[in-house]
Amino acid sequence: MLHLVFCWHFHQPDYRDAAGRYQLPWTYLHAVKDYADMAAHLEAAPDFHCVVNFVPTLTAQLLDYNAQFESGQVRDPLLASLIATDLYALPAAEKRQLIEQCFKVHHFTMLEPFPAYKRLYILWKTIDVSDESGLAYLSEQYLADLVTWYHLVWTGETVRRARPDLLALIAKGEGFSRHDRRVVFDLYGEVIASLLPRYRQMAERGQIELSATPHSHPILPLLLDFKAALDARPDLPLPKAAGYPGGEARALAHIETALQEHEFQFGQRPVGFWPAEGGVSDAVARLFSKSGMQWVASGEGVLRHSLAAAGIDLAQKATWCYTPYRLPDTRTALFFRDDHLSDLIGFEYKSWHGSDAARHFLHALDEVRHHAGAPNPVVSIILDGENAWEYYPFNGFYFLSELFAELAEHNTIRATTFSDYLEQHPHAIAELPHLVSGSWVYGDFCTWIGDVAKNRGWDWLVAAKQAYDGALPALPAAARGKAEALLKSCESSDWFWWFGDYNPADAVASFDRVYRQKLKRLYETLNLAPPAYLDSPLCQGGGSAEAGGVMRRGGA
């Protein structure tokens, strides 16, 4: 029997400014498209078991959006535009920003299949070659149709199939009224309000295991020691600062806050973590063990580097990849992502017919079963729960439906969870003498440190943390809470992911801007003047000109 654990990682960084206004809309858009679709696929296959990992910053934002829908006080500009009464009155700069945002989709799967939406794009590209006066030719009806279409294409495939009123609007195609837009707005509110209860119900009936990530998705090994990045890349340039001040205390704060918030929301503390970006080290693994984690997962590259450092032969992947490990004197089992199988879903199958992809994946699992050297082999498939699906036709509907249905009834492949596997096979864990510090991306930390812009971002964060440490004792309690929340958000890995000149320029600029805004607000909350350098982009001229996708990646 081959044991199979799918771990779907649901994550968005906190896009809110100090006033609670959203700077980027990806949380609510992915909620209605991807998190809702995944819930429906799981509900349709109740005998299929897996792990769903919620990052606390995502959970908090879903609750906040729910409050916005209930109160009618919308703090997300894009969402507010859906029910705005006078879109034409927008200033030219805001009008252009709205239009450009409403074409940030993967065109092949989310624009090309809808002729009415595509006509809006063709018209915009015709206007866009003119000067700013070209905006005046676009009517309020154009803007109303555009913002409606953008929200229509961001609905999940399962959501559309369950809502005849939504399908009627797609068929209508143009001339959307305020009532039509309100229908879409209310639908979004209903879907988002239902999400967390649906996943909690699946966990309570034992179908899924809910796990978590340290609170704001920080790279814990780097908080503890910048030199952790040298384990896998000894030549990597590091920030000017020697290290992050008080890093261990900050790591523990993220861990404990995540445990508390997860328990409050889902009714029980998680017993497993997918650490941000699968980032682990010996020191971090021991922190997790002391925090009572039964399991933690990371990337295959980390295991490969760790076994090579121990002198273990890596010639046959089947003999070392499909078993959990544990460091000496720790209680936490370490599972490692199968990169090839995970990346088939994250990057390859998007261009396949859904049934062909499902059959190919099942065949690949059978190959693992036939050749696995471990007595109770376990395959860990770990992916983002949101970023791959926009590249699939129908948001991956046919692939996921068939795959889950097949696995739910499979005779030789058992879809399970990390906790259930450990409960049934407590003696299957091998000893790993040492973890080479790294992440799921190539087994190193180069995606978050080492680049000139990334290192500058760390130095700015170190300076802010030093200011925080100096000012905190004099702050009143309310200000302390705000400063702590802002610092946690600034410590997120997401900002550093985007810094550098190899990502799409508009995405780099967006994340650069939000990061600097958060640092500024942190200084202001500490009653300090923000450094002047925060007024200029961290990524000086960074970002490629390629428009590309707007999301982070299709992997984990």
Which of 347, 410, 341 lies closest to 381 in space, CA to CA?
A: 341
Higher pLDDT, 257 or 137: 257
Residue 94: predicted pLDDT: 93
322, 378 Cβ separation under 8 angstroms: yes
Residue 345: predicted pLDDT: 98
Reply yes or no on whether the pLDDT at 222 is more than 70: yes
Point out the least confidently predicted range of 8-17, 269-278, 369-378.
369-378
Assigned token pair, 45: 């296959």
Handedness of CA 158, 161, 163, 168 (dihedral sign): positive
Share of the chain above pLDDT 70, in %: 96
Reply yes or no on whether the pLDDT at 544 is more than 60: no
Assigned token pair, 507: 């995405």
Which of 236, 209, 235 lies closest to 294 in space, CA to CA?
A: 209
74, 114 Cβ separation under 8 angstroms: no
Reply yes or no on whether the pLDDT at 552 is more than 50: no
pLDDT band at 71 (very low <50, low <70, confident <90, very high): very high
Amino acid letter, 335: F
| pLDDT, mean of residues 270-295 | 98
Higher pLDDT, 51 or 507: 51
Average pLDDT, the chain: 94
Handedness of CA 47, 48, 49, 54 (dihedral sign): negative
Reply yes or no on whether the pLDDT at 547 is more than 50: no
Rg (CA), the chain: 24
| pLDDT, mean of residues 482-488 | 96
pLDDT band at 541 (very low <50, low <70, confident <90, very high): low
| Residue range 518-536, pLDDT digits in tens | 999 999 999 999 999 999 9
Share of the chain above pLDDT 90, in %: 89
Assigned token pair, 282: 């010996």
| Residue range 151-206, pLDDT digits in tens | 999 999 999 999 999 999 999 999 999 999 999 999 999 999 999 999 999 999 99
Which of 512, 490, 497 lies closest to 24 in space, CA to CA?
A: 512
Helix (H) or strand (E) holding 186: helix 178-204
**Helix 247-266 vs helix 56-71: angle between axes, to the nearest 10 degrees?**
50
| Residue range 248-282, pLDDT digits in tens | 999 999 999 999 999 999 999 999 999 999 999 99
Reply yes or no on whether the pLDDT at 374 is more than 90: no
Residue 553: predicted pLDDT: 43
Reply yes or no on whether the pLDDT at 310 is more than 90: yes
3-state secondary structure 304-355: HHHHHHCCCCCCCHHHCCCCCEECCCCCCEEEEECHHHHHHHHHHHHHCCHH
| Residue range 74-92, pLDDT digits in tens | 999 999 999 999 998 999 9
Reply yes or no on whether the pLDDT at 235 is more than 90: yes
List helix spans (H) across 384-532. 397-408, 418-424, 452-471, 477-490, 493-498, 505-525
Amino acid letter, 333: A
CA separation for the pair 338, 352 (Å, rounded):
20
Point out the least confidently predicted range of 208-222, 248-262, 264-278, 310-324.
310-324
Residue 545: predicted pLDDT: 38
